[in-house]
Structure 1
């Protein structure tokens, strides 16, 4: 190795990746002034780092025909036009591809029975058949009742309402607010609208407004407080739906669901407007009626047993209050409304969430107006 004099203008050697060949633009040359350099002053920086990956131009180049699978050719047969219309020259080889899927016919063509769990094979796909539609096609009922666990929760909430009503209005307010919140959420989910935070919040705020109006106006002015709050909340629901940018059908459906949810949550305040003894008897009767309805009996027998049990519970609860034997009528009337709410929560194959919201709350909520009316009439 020989010593060379130091040259301050000597260009640094370019460092590249291992095994990398220098780009032609990087080849040094003898300049006009006797020094080595580059034609382009930016060429050294431009080609300092070389990518070995596939570039866009390399990807864009055609690599020859790619063999197609049988499923792809079957799909293209239904989607693409006949190859003779678009490319007459390529009609002969393409025609053979179109005929290949015919060899893969489904087993049903050969006489074998298809799997009953699946529909016929199609290229576009089949729309999902809901459980309720399948039940109707098979001649079964699309009704699924909530069962014993939601009935037990309804009974627990009913007993809490009965005990709190015997204590006072402010004590009754705690389980009542829980009932109103579960009613608002369950009704929207029962109608297939989820999540519906604005509608649930609006209905629940209407229930709280009705409770506040009842506490301020007193039980003697209960109907005015409930109906006034209901009218205001119907107007609010209408204004909110008019501001929506959804389709007219969707807005109408949302309006009906919002109004119904708010009405049910507000009407549940009837326990707060009713006489304390009437609220106690009615809540106990609903609790017993729902438990009896959940027993594993035929539907007609279950309904009869439920009504008789509610009447008996009304007599027992009335004996501890001023109603006495008249509690049987109050209990039976509350039980009829509770069974209606129970039936509504069972309609059209509801989900488990519906059973534990609407299935728990609707029997007590629907019975609230009857508890108020019969309580005033019999008390």
Structure 2
């Protein structure tokens, strides 16, 4: 892979680099979450199509969050890892979906490592490229976990988790009296309540929906916090800020679906 150094620093600025993505990225996350829920309800092939979009935004967002731009080769490699995971999960029966996901991740990380042998930059550049590409690949494959959940445990956990994330990010983006603690508590509560409502409506169960919605909400808030580092550009908010809340919730959805099934 060619050297992919950090983006130029650009103009100086003052103030905290931690700025929440805001309402527009939150609205995009909510739309993407609802598309995931609709795709899960419609069937695995439709869900896979929506996941391709999530994986692309996740891969691009992680590189931009790390200040590495342009990074076309790394983004393409991470994105194709997610697509390969989708194909692998679609190719096996439900009971082997998780194994297919983990096998793809292991194989793709090995490919990333081998490709770094062609990197002719300095030691620091090679380390930065390897770290960013490996992490981006991991996240893209993790996003495909929604497909593994659907294959193994059915669509209800995916629908519940995706809608809970959508609720959490929308509430978190609204300015509420009381500041940060109130906003975080309200977003968490919204995810839990929506989990109960969606879980009850889908047949997943209100109690199960409460646990899954709360866990997905916590992961969504963590994703928003990570993406709140908006330097070097606001593009971070419209990539990582959109994708990470949903991507980071995928492992929680899988673990709770397995525990509650």
- TM-score of the two chains, using structure 2 as the length reference: 0.91
What are the residue-to-residue correspondences of 1:188-199 with 2, within 5 Å? 188-199=63-74
Greater RCO, CA 8 A, separation 6+: 2
* 1:303 corresponds to 2:184: yes
Structure 2 match to 1:214: 89
Give the unaligned 5+ runs of structure 2. Answer: 1-8
Q: CA deviation at 1:375?
A: 1.2
- Matched residue SS, 1:246: coil
Q: CA deviation at 1:358?
A: 0.6
Equivalent in 155, 159, 166 of residue 41 of structure 2: 166
What are the residue-to-residue correspondences of 1:172-183 with 2, within 5 Å? 172-183=47-58
Q: CA deviation at 1:164?
A: 1.2
Structure 1 match to 2:170: 291
What are the residue-to-residue correspondences of 1:312-331 with 2, within 5 Å? 312-325=193-206, 326-331=208-213
* 1:347 corresponds to 2:229: yes
Going by fraction, where is helix more abundant, 1 or 2? 2
Matches of 1:157 and 1:328, distance apart in 2: 21
Structure 2 match to 1:80: none
Matches of 1:371 and 1:332, distance apart in 2: 10
Report the more deviating stretch, 303-312 or 293-302: 293-302
Matches of 2:169 and 2:117, distance apart in 1: 39
Structure 2 match to 1:66: none
Q: CA deviation at 1:222?
A: 2.1
- TM-score of the two chains, using structure 1 as the length reference: 0.63
Structure 1 match to 2:4: none
Structure 2 match to 1:378: 260
Aligned length: 246
Matches of 1:186 and 1:328, distance apart in 2: 30
Q: CA deviation at 1:347?
A: 1.8
* 1:144 corresponds to 2:25: no
Rg: which structure is higher?
A: 1
Q: Is the 8 A contact 2:62 2:136 kept in 1?
A: yes
Q: CA deviation at 1:142?
A: 2.5
Structure 2 match to 1:358: 240
Equivalent in 149, 160, 173 of residue 281 of structure 1: 160
Give the ranges of 4+ consecutive aligned residues of structure 1 lying more than 6 Å apart after TM superposition. Answer: none
Q: Is the 8 A contact 2:230 2:236 kept in 1?
A: no
- Matched residue SS, 2:17: coil
Q: Is the 8 A contact 1:161 1:172 kept in 2?
A: yes
Structure 2 match to 1:266: 141
RMSD of Structure 2 on Structure 1 (CA): 1.4
Give the unaligned 5+ runs of structure 1. Answer: 1-126, 136-140
